[in-house]
Structure 1
Amino acid sequence: MRKLLAAAVAALALAGCSTGADQVDVNNGGEFRFVAGTPAGEVIAVDERASAPEFSGTLLDGGDWSSDELSGDVAVLNFWGSWCPPCRVETPEFQEVYEEVADQGVQFLGLNVKDQQQLAQAFVDNKGVTFPSLFDPAGEVALAFRDYPATAIPSTIVLDRDGRVAAVFTATVTQADLRSTLDRLLEEG
């Protein structure tokens, strides 16, 4: 048992040394290399954006949903869990921004991961969230975004109108940062 524990600790130490404490290094075959989250309020340059993966699933209310529904709009994808303290702060702020921009060609989609449906629905009801959320307890959609750190909760990925990743936030996003990012993407036409 001690040998197994020692091997696990050594593997973690080596993994931690390979990328440094302040960055993530993920590679999807050379097409896109994720090094760090997008700085607050900044957007990835148009010529450096990679297409988001296609995904689908079941909404918390039981309906079917596909990423095709985002076509032509700017999209905010927020990976959250009812058990996540930063999500409790961020979610009501996302709802406020959503209400402001919903008629401007911006869609919001919550992606509830590693949760129980009853707890997730209670969270949405309690926070007054009106934008849809996929129920993804196994984190399958987060795995589809494995080239981005969507498995860190909360994470927010913002897509441009062409379905390309334009910003990646790996921590709580403030309203100001979200608005700034959306304003820049909406200006792109």
Structure 2
Amino acid sequence: MRCIATGLLAALLLTGCSTGPDAVAVNNGGEFRFVAATPSGEVIPAGERATAPEFSGTLLGGGEFSSGELAGDVAVLNFWGSWCGPCRVETPQFQEVYADVRDDGVQFLGLNVKETSEQFALAFVERFGIEFPSLYDPRGEVALAFRDYPATAIPSTIVLDRDNRVAAVYTGEVSQDDLRRVLDLVLQEA
């Protein structure tokens, strides 16, 4: 029995905090679910992109943020939680990419969801030396605004083009190399 439980735990860790049609509700009112991770982000052809929903909220540590602040830049939106194992792997890699591209017209915004305490989220940011801002969204309201992409799987990452349209979507952990590839493609667009 212990081997079966260990095997199930290992399988869950390999897919991230994210299973498909057989979705498993987590302790969040059934809105967030585990889904199969996408192996790499695919850039959505420019003619097929939908405008991202508008959102606003309070930043971790205080201050207000509105999605209008992303206008004109490529943006990386990362939905994360300190309780999410794959988030602990990808977040330091996101910081590395952010440090390299922040002066190239790319903004990063973390969206901390389903956190029981803002202190846990702040400790996570400090532990990993994250310099880009994060919204504190304990009820997952912003994630639900992006539910068609699906940002209700944690971790999820959405790349927006300069016109505030959804250019790429990831569910599950994102590799640094793949994120860089997608950002390069979106940055090269006219």
Contact 2:41 2:170 in 1 (8 A): no
Amino acid in structure 2 at the alignment position of 1:179: R
CA deviations over 1:40-98 (Å, ceiling 9, x no partner): 14300000000000000000021000000000000000000000000000000000000
* 1:44 and 2:58 correspond: no
In structure 2, stretches of 5+ residues that fail to align are 1-19, 24-35
Alignment match, 1:120? 121
2:172 matched residue in structure 1: 171
The Cα of 1:146 is off from its aligned counterpart by 1.8
Q: How many angstroms apart in 2 are the aligned matches of 1:119 and 1:39?
A: 29
Deviation at residue 38 of structure 1 after TM alignment = 6.5
8 Å CA contact 1:58, 1:65 repeated in 2 = yes
Q: Which residue is equivalent to 2:163?
A: 162
Match of 2:83 in 1: 83
CA 38–85 in structure 1, closer or farther in 2 if over 3 Å, else same: closer
Conserved in 1, the CA contact under 8 Å of 2:38 and 2:172? no
Q: Is the 8 Å Cα contact of residues 37 and 168 (structure 1) preserved in structure 2?
A: no
Number of the residue aligned with 1:4: none
SS of residue matched to 1:169: strand
Q: Could you tell me which amino acid in structure 2 is paired with residue 59 of structure 1?
A: L
TM value normalised by structure 2: 0.79
Where does structure 1 lack aligned partners over 5 or more consecutive residues?
A: 1-18, 23-35
* Aligned position for 1:186: 187
What stretches of structure 1 move > 4 A for 4+ residues in a row? 19-22, 36-39
1:143 corresponds to 2:128? no
TM-score of the aligned structures, taking structure 1 as reference length: 0.80
Question: Secondary structure of the residue that 2:44 maps to in structure 1?
Answer: coil
How far off is 1:147 after superposition?
Answer: 1.5
For the Cα contact (< 8 Å) 1:38–1:44, is it kept in 2? no
User: Structure 2: which amino acid aligns with 1:185?
Assistant: V
Deviation sequence 1:91-130 (CA, Å, 0-9, x none): 0000000000000000000000000200000000000000
Q: State the one-letter code of the partner of 1:80.
A: W
Percent identity of the aligned residues?
A: 72
- Counterpart-to-counterpart distance in 1, 2:120 and 2:76: 22
SS of equivalent to 1:103: helix
Question: 1:42 and 1:176 mapped to 2: Cα distance?
Answer: 13
Q: Supply the AA of the counterpart residue of 1:67.
A: S
Q: Count how many residue pairs are aligned between Structure 1 and Structure 2.
A: 158
Cα RMSD, aligned residues only = 1.7
Aligned residue for 2:43, secondary structure, equals: coil
